[in-house]
Amino acid sequence: MMYLLLRSGVIALMLVTTSGCAKLGYYTQAIGGQLEILVKRRSIPALLDDPDTAPELKARLSPILEMRAFASEELGLPDNKSYRTYVDLKRPYVVWNVFAAPEFSLEPVDWCFLFAGCISYRGYFSERDAQKFANKLAQDNYDVYVAGISAYSTLGWFHDPMLNTMLRRTEPEIAGLIFHELAHQVVYVRDHTEFNESFALTVELEGIKRWLAAKGSADQFQKYLVRKKRRGEFIQLVMKLRDQLDEIYARETGDDKKRAAKQQAFIGIRQDYRELKKNWGGYTSYDAWFARDLNNAYLVSVGLYNQYVPAFQALLSQHNGDLKAFYGAVEELSQLSKAKRAEKLQSLQATSSP
């Protein structure tokens, strides 16, 4: 226990904001939430051998160790104790992230932390606390969005466990989640959320493709390709809306006219989505996304994870799918200034396939 308490001090340092404006209560909930996860970890092999482990849980956990081995042996991801233990948090999400953006801008609000740097969301282990913080931001006329998150990475500071919140997904999605979070341990750049998340998502997508090719059935792989195509079409729709809103916000008009045009753009994307769905054969997975009240913060949450994926995929293609060489190239990008890095990524984006 003393070891855990000492390590929790590291979390405190990770959470200290450079501006000093965050309250002690935020640090307390963050330390307490991480400590809860650390003390509840149980070895997955031990759980699989335990006759008291529920059969349903054994069935969900049994592929995890194989996925974890594949991540290191085939994808070159860190070979450590992460995702070899399990924690049941008795709740649907591990954290709730608060995203915020000004009413007439798609530039997200950033919060800065000592080791993690500035990131474009703020996480809470309590949904109530996250919503309370979001309400304060809304009172200051920010667009806000609170997202339940099923997994996150401590960037190698701790051995992250599998969580019950992660097991609600399909097996390929669980594998992808492991690949995604381990990718954050390979390369992580302070103050550049879009870079970090797009890189991790690229590793996730490539990892799922290789996992299914090696371990899955032909049917699973075909279903994955269909879902990937639909996901790409959804992202294109959202990015089209972002471009449209950028143009609206840049206009030399009054706020009322911008506000009306913004709402008209939201009506338009819902119409576009209904047209898109006609080719999806009844697929409804994105209905819930469009059912919510759309705002800038909601769109930011999509852009952060997808903005540079085509660029990273182009970089991987330039290295003929060699992940080791790809990681090296990404590490080189991480050493550039943020402006130069963004310029390189935009250049790569221009070479990517549509």
**Rg for the chain, CA atoms, rounded:** 21
Looking at every residue in the chain, the average pLDDT score rounds to 89
Q: Do 94 and 160 sit in the same domain of this protein?
A: yes
What pLDDT was estimated at residue 10? Answer: 41
One domain for residues 71 and 107: yes
Whether 205 is in a domain gets the answer: no
- Which pLDDT belongs to residue 144? 97
Q: Which of 144, 246, 120 is nearest to 192 (CA)?
A: 120
Q: pLDDT at position 253, please?
A: 94
Q: How far apart are CA 349 and CA 354, in angstroms?
A: 10
Q: What pLDDT shows up at residue 338?
A: 93
What integer pLDDT is reported at residue 2 of this predicted model?
27
8-state DSSP, 97: E
Confidence of residue 115 (pLDDT cuts 50, 70, 90): low
Give the confidence band of 281 by pLDDT, cuts at 50, 70, 90: confident
206 located within any domain:
no
Distance CA 65, CA 44 (A): 8
| All residues at 6 or more sequence positions from 160 whose CB lies less than 8 Å from its CB, including other chains | 82, 83, 151, 152, 153, 154, 181
- Take residue 89 and report the two structure tokens written for it: 């948090």
Give the pLDDT of residue 330: 98
Answer whether residue 9 is part of any domain.
yes
Number of domains within the chain: 2
Question: Is there a single domain that holds both residue 231 and residue 187?
Answer: no
- Claim to verify: residue 152 and residue 290 sit in the same structural domain: no
pLDDT of residue 218: 82
Q: What does the pLDDT average to over 60-70?
A: 96
In a shared domain, residues 253 and 295: yes
* Distance from C-alpha of 222 to C-alpha of 211, rounded to nearest angstrom: 13
Q: Which residues span the domain enclosing 262?
A: 219-351
**pTM, full prediction:** 0.84
| Mean pLDDT of all residues in 199-220 | 92
Is 207 part of any domain?
Answer: no
Residue 41 to residue 149: CA distance in whole angstroms: 19
Q: What are phi and psi of 307, to 5 degrees?
A: -55, -45
Separation CA 274–CA 313 (nearest Å): 29
- Tens-place pLDDT, residues 317-328: 999 999 999 999
Query: Does 349 have pLDDT greater than 60?
Result: yes
> 81: closest CA among 93, 69, 73?
69
**What average pLDDT does this structure show over 198-227?**
91
For the chain, give the percent of residues with pLDDT over 70.
92
